[in-house]
Structure 1
C-alpha cells in the first residue's frame, strides 16, 4: 500500500467545490493542502449534481481546473483522481439517467473531465460504482483503452465488492489491459450495526476481506467519509441511527482515552488510525481550521497497543 508519508497519503476531497464551497474557499483549501505536502485531490464528474441548480455535475472539476491554471507549476505537485459512472445525463433525473459504465459512457465521461480539469491526463480514474447492466469486459476494455492512449495513468474501483474487482483484474490481465489497482470504500472507526442499511445511496463499507485482498494484491485503499460528516465532534451532527449500538459506545470511550494520551483531537486520532493501517483517508473539509486539524493527524503516532485497544473495542 505504499510507503508515502502520512501527509502525502491524506487525500483532499473536493466534492462541494463550486457548489457549497465557493471558488475563493476552494482555492485557499487547495493552496494550504499543497503547501503542507498534500498530493492527491479527489473529485468526480458528478460532483455535485444534487447541490447544483443545473442538476448535473462538473462544478468541482471546473474549479480544480481553474485553480490549476491560476497556479503556475502546481500541476507538477498534485495528482488528480476523478470518477465516472454517476453523472446524470438528464438534469435532476438520478439515478435513472446516471451515465453508467458502458464504453461510450466511460470515454465520453473522461473526455468531459479532461476538458473541465484542463489537464493532459488523469492520474487515477475510478469506476464510481458497479454497473451490472454492462458486461464487465466492456468496462475493463474502456478503462484499459484510456490508459493505452495516455489519457489516464491508473485505474481503480470505488464502491465495488472485492470479488467483482478480482473478476475485473483477471479480465484485464487476460486482455493485456491495465487492471484496477486501487479500492475506494467508506470506512471509519465507528461502524454501523452489522447488516444495517446505510442512509447514503450507493455507499459501500470497507470490510476486513477488502483489506486482506488489497494487502495480498498490493492495491491502494482510500476511505471516504472517515469522520462521519463531523459526527465525532459536532453535537449538531449526530451519527445516523444505524450507528446506535454498544460497539459505538466502546469505540468512542477508547477514542477519548487515546486522544487524551496522545494530546490529539478525536478527528485526528480517527485519521491516524486509518493511516496506521495503510489507508488513505479522504478529508472533505470546508474551512482552513478543519484542514489544518486534519493535516496535523499525519503527525499523530499510534502505538501497537492503541491499535489493539481499538480492535478490541469495535
Structure 2
C-alpha cells in the first residue's frame, strides 16, 4: 500500500480500471473481477460517469451502477478507495458525438461549470449508491469555463462532505499549474492526483512530454 498524495490514506499501487463494467463486461463478470482484485489486496477503483457511452449497449453511468451494486451487496464500501470522474459526459447522442466534425470532447460534453459539477456529483453518488466519493477527477479540461468557477465548485463539494479529494485528468501542464495557483491563493481544495494517458505499448511516443520543464517532482508523487 502507498500513501495517497500527501495524505495518510492508503491505496494499492495498482488501481483497477472499471471502464468495461456494465457494457463489455456483464454484472457477473464484473463482480468476479472485483472480488479477485479485492482478494489480492487491491483497494483502488477507478471509473467515470461517462463509462461507457460509446458502446452499443452503453449510455454512460453503467460502470458506476455496477460498482455500487457490487460493494453494497458485498458490504465492502469501506474497504475500497473509490475514484470517479465528471466533465466528459456527452450532451448529444453517441452517433452525433462520433460524427461531429470538430472536437467532440470539447464541444459535446458537459464541461466543468459550477452547475454541472454540483449536479454531476449528486448523479454519481446516486448511481454509486454511496454518500461520498473518495477521489473526484475533472475528466477533461474545459476552456469555456473560468477555472476559478470550476475550482470553487469542487471545493464546495469537498466542504459538503460529498467528495474527499479532487484530481484532474487530461490537462495541459500550464493549466494544472494555474489551477494550483488559484486554489492556493483562495485556500481551496487542491488537485491531489493527475491522471494522464500513457501506455507501455507505445512508450517512446509519449515519453518526451516536456513535463519536467514545467513542474517539479512533487506532482509525480
Interval of TM-score (by shorter of Structure 1 and Structure 2): 0.7 to 0.9
Structure 1 gaps of 5+ residues are: 195-204, 221-314
Counterpart among 36, 40, 43 of residue 36 in structure 1:
40
Match in the other structure for 2:87: 85
Q: Are residue 191 (structure 1) and residue 180 (structure 2) matched?
A: no
Count of aligned pairs: 206
Q: Distance in 2 between matches of 1:71 and 1:121?
A: 18
Match in the other structure for 2:66: 63
Counterpart among 11, 17, 22 of residue 13 in structure 1:
17
Q: How does 1:149-298 map to 2 (within 5 A)?
A: 149-189=160-200, 190-191=202-203, 193=205, 207=209, 209=211, 213=215, 215-217=217-219, 220=221
Q: Distance in 2 between matches of 1:32 and 1:135?
A: 42
- Normalising to structure 2: TM-score of the pair? 0.85
**Largest Rg, 1 or 2:** 1
Contact residue 186 and residue 206 of structure 1 kept, 8 A:
no
Q: Alpha carbons of 1:76 and 1:206: their partners in 2 closer, same or farther (altered >3 Å)?
A: farther
Match in the other structure for 1:45: 49
Q: Alpha carbons of 1:207 and 1:39: their partners in 2 closer, same or farther (altered >3 Å)?
A: farther
Contact residue 162 and residue 210 of structure 1 kept, 8 A:
no
Structure 2 gaps of 5+ residues are: 5-10, 98-103
Q: Identify which range, 93-102 or 178-187, moves more after superposition.
A: 93-102
Q: Are residue 27 (structure 1) and residue 39 (structure 2) matched?
A: no
- Normalising to structure 1: TM-score of the pair? 0.61
Q: Distance in 1 between matches of 2:218 and 2:205?
A: 27
Residues 44-99 of structure 1: per-residue CA shift (max 9 Å, x gap)? 00000001445x31000000011011102x11110110000111133324324311
Task: Return the structure number with greater relative CO, CA threshold 8 A, min gap 6.
Answer: 1
**Once superposed, what is the RMSD of the aligned Cα atoms?**
2.5
Q: Distance in 1 between matches of 2:208 and 2:117?
A: 25
